[in-house]
Amino acid sequence: MRKFLFAMLIVMCAGGFAACGDRKATGSVVSSSETPKEDKDAPYVEGNKNIMRRENEEMEMFVRRYGWQMQRTPTGLYVQVLEPGSGEPFKENDRVAMEYRTFLLSGEQVYSSDSNGVKVFMVKRSEEIDALHEAAQLLRPGAKARLVIPSYLGYGVAGDGDRIQGLQPIMMEIRILDKDEKIPETYIPNPYSN
């Protein structure tokens, strides 16, 4: 009986394999794991574009409302130099100290160096927001500037966890301290940064 069942099993498997070989494909089925990445990410990409478009419109209206003459960098940062400063612009690994006032686009001041202390950081080597690293490389010691910052160069999707919400553009007025000024020794290098 076992031999008979075993023989039937072999015949059925062989018949099944033979039947598969005789059929012609009439179409293809694409599993979800084979879906092109562009198709999977399309809704997210489009959503991000809409967020960036909305933010950019909000920042442009803000700048126009005050009549500021600002330059927009390729990254989307708006900069208005109020006082040029002197010397060479800062470069990677330079130590920068700046006084600042941070505002929401509603006009509400949320932070300032008067109450929170001077920001001291190394260009491209600290956890400061990207906009300040970029601004430092555009400015010279002693410079004053006004910045309108998109959320992706500021506090991003999460916000700062305190007064600045996620996906919120901000405005900053900054003054980079000159090398002759007393710069606080508050910067501690991050041992994990490159």
- Locus of tokens 């001041």: 109
Q: 65 and 77 in contact (C-beta within 8 Å)?
A: no
Q: 128 and 154 in contact (C-beta within 8 Å)?
A: no
Look at domain 40-176 and name its CATH class. Answer: alpha beta
- Using the Cα atoms of residue 131, residue 108, residue 68 and residue 52 in order, give the sign of their dihedral: positive
Q: Could you read off the pLDDT of 12-47 as tens digits, one per residue?
A: 555 555 555 555 544 444 555 555 666 778 788 887
Q: Which of 61-70, 170-179, 180-189 has the lowest mean pLDDT?
A: 180-189
How far is residue 55's CA from residue 2's CA, in Å, rounded to a whole number?
75
* Distances from the Cα of 116 to the Cα of 7, 108, 126, angstroms: 85, 16, 18
As given in the structure block, the two tokens for residue 11 are 């015949």
How far is residue 99's CA from residue 61's CA, in Å, rounded to a whole number?
26
Residue 10 pLDDT > 80: no
Q: Record the pTM.
A: 0.72
Measure the CA dihedral 56/60/62/63, to 10°. 140
- With a pLDDT cut of 70, the percent of the chain lying above it is 72
For the chain, how many residues are written? 194
How far is residue 30's CA from residue 181's CA, in Å, rounded to a whole number?
66
